[in-house]
Amino acid sequence: MNIYYDNRQDEIEITEEMTSLIEKSVDMVLEVLELDKDVEVSISFVSDDEIRELNRDYRNVDRTTDVLSFPIDDEFEINSRILGDVVINTRKVIEQAKEYEHSNTRELSYLTVHSILHLLGYDHIEESDKEEMRRVEKLVMKELGIER
For residue 131, list its beta bridge partners: none
Contacts of 105 (CB under 8 A, 6+ apart): 17, 18, 21
Nearest residue to 65 (alpha-carbon basis) of 73, 74, 54, 57: 54
Q: Are 11 and 94 in contact (CB under 8 A)?
A: yes
User: Was 102 annotated as part of a binding site?
Assistant: no
- Count of Cβ atoms closer than 10 Å to residue 126 Cβ: 9
Nearest residue to 92 (alpha-carbon basis) of 39, 45, 43: 45
Q: Which residues are annotated as a binding site for Zn(2+)?
A: 114, 118, 124
Q: Which residues are annotated as a binding site?
A: 114, 118, 124
